[in-house]
Amino acid sequence: MRRSQLATALIATSVVALAACGGNQPSGTGDAGTQQTPTANPSAVTGSLTWWDTSDATNEAPVFKELIADFNKQYPNVKINYQSVPFGEAQNKFKTAAAAKSGAPDILRAEVAWVPEFASLGYLYKLDGTPLAAGQDDFLPAAHGSTQFNGGTYGVPQVTDTLGLMYNKKLLADAGVQPPTTWDEMKTAAEAIKSKTGKDGAYLNPAGYYLLPFIYGEGGDLLDTEAKKITVNAAPSVAGITKAQELQGSPGFVKAPATEAYKAMMDSFNAGKVGMIVQGPWETAAVTKATGFGGADNLGIAPVPAGSAKQGGPVGGHDYVVWSGMSEDKAQAAIAFIEFMSSAESQAKISDELGLLPARKSAYDKVTTPLVKQWQTPMEKAVQRAWIPEGGQLFAPLDQAATSLMIKKADPNATLDGVAQKYKTEVVKDYATE
């Protein structure tokens, strides 16, 4: 099946699918993602789809299986062949199957960095002109950005995330400080927590992804994709790392170990031994359940502190994507399934049961878990990453550098020059350097 034939099939089914999928339209006769009375009989939608779910098989997959059951109550003649595929294996497994044009799933839950890579290889169906590309205004800008490649739409956001400031309300109150809004305020607050409570003030994870809020805060980034230029070693990025090192060496900040730093950070925070961390929503549920923390009422969530230029953490998450080799007879069913799974109701259910963040703005009105709603402001400030095919390869060199920078206090200029050189020789070879 040629891509052009499938495009015709998908677009031709759009009008029918919009009617048949009435319960979960992203656009058209009602608000984005809201439940509606179907204007056509959903039993007319038929087909068999294979879906690779890359979520955690133990803790997350049961909720997605519940959603499939809900979908089948409305669409009884669509069979979903659910397959749980380990996240660490899915990227290469999908590429191998897609390249062989055999064994790839019709629909994949893809990490956001995979979308431009798969699209550049011709492995994803371009959704422009179909209902799945409509109603994009209801998606948070950063989540929507992850579905775009070369001006086209190649995915539908499922869940999203970013880094924010998690803080222990009691420790901050005991120290008489407010949640910081800038890195300088965080420095002051950490010292106050240490001196007035005896507990540590803050813990920074020495990993590449966790350095991005500092780089963004000074107006820097890893790449300038429009100019096709490597900027990880440019002055703003160096200034961001310098600020991170300044905080790391300040009173009240924990000196991270060279190994297992992430675990050490979470163990300390969960035990109520540190006041503030920069972390993502995936740890929210674990923190609130931790014996020594003090429960959900003691957890505060705010955007990451700002630098001198801006404020925001990197965007992460997952998207639904369609294999470009999917046969045309499945088009209408695929539209119905993805619309249902990405609706505001479905995203709210995922959030309430798993603590994951909705990618739709309208879903936050339906979420009943207060802490999930507190992540909306950090998400609104989230910074889009470089949505290029090589985007997923940018973090290994930065992770290596982070250990030297944050634990060994290596020189930011020289270290980031080394990262830039690796980008030039191994990742984005056609980009210019500083």
Q: What share of the chain is helix, strand, coil (3-state, %, to 5)?
A: 50, 15, 35
Residue 286, pLDDT > 90, answer no
Cα 26 → chain centroid: 20
Q: Which of 37-41, 175-179, 397-401, 416-420 has the lowest mean pLDDT?
A: 37-41
Non-local (6+) Cβ contacts of 304 within 8 A are 163, 164, 165, 213, 217, 278, 311, 312, 313, 378, 381
Q: Tell me, what's the pLDDT at 14?
A: 47
Model confidence, pTM: 0.82
- Torsions phi, psi for 383 (to 5 deg): -100, 130
- List Cα–Cα distances, 159 to 8, 181, 294, in angstroms: 29, 26, 27
Residue type, 27: S
If one compares 386 and 210, the residue with the highest pLDDT of the two is 210
Residue type, 222: L
Q: Which of 92-106, 155-169, 277-291 has the lowest mean pLDDT?
A: 277-291
Helices (H) and strands (E) in the chain, counts: 18, 14
Q: Tell me, what's the pLDDT at 6?
A: 53
Q: What is the distance between the alpha carbons of residues 77 and 220, in angstroms, rounded to a whole number?
A: 51
* For residues 393-398, average pLDDT: 93
Q: Tell me, what's the pLDDT at 364?
A: 92
Residue 45, pLDDT > 90, answer yes
- List Cα–Cα distances, 328 to 17, 117, 323, 333, in angstroms: 14, 24, 11, 10
- Burial letters for 336-368: b for 16+ Cβ neighbours within 10 Å, e otherwise? bbbbbbbbbbbbbbbbebbbbbbbbbbbbebbe
Q: What is the DSSP string of 293-318?
A: T--GGGEEEEEPPB-SS----B-EEE
Q: Tell me, what's the pLDDT at 41?
A: 73
* For residues 38-53, average pLDDT: 84
HSE-CB of 138 using CA atoms within 13 angstroms: 26
Q: Tens digits of per-residue pLDDT, 231-256? A: 999 999 999 999 999 999 999 999 99
Residue 19, pLDDT > 50, answer no
Q: How confident is the model at residue 11 (pLDDT cuts 50, 70, 90)?
A: low
* For residues 103-131, average pLDDT: 95
Q: Tell me, what's the pLDDT at 240?
A: 98
Q: Could you tell me where the beta strands, DSSP code E, fall in 142-287? A: 148-149, 152-153, 156-161, 164-168, 200-203, 223-224, 229-230, 274-279
Residue 27, pLDDT > 60, answer no
The structure tokens 């007879």 sit at: 329
Q: How confident is the model at residue 39 (pLDDT cuts 50, 70, 90)?
A: very low
- List Cα–Cα distances, 350 to 83, 253, 354, in angstroms: 18, 35, 6
Task: List residues bridging with 299 in a β-sheet.
Answer: 168
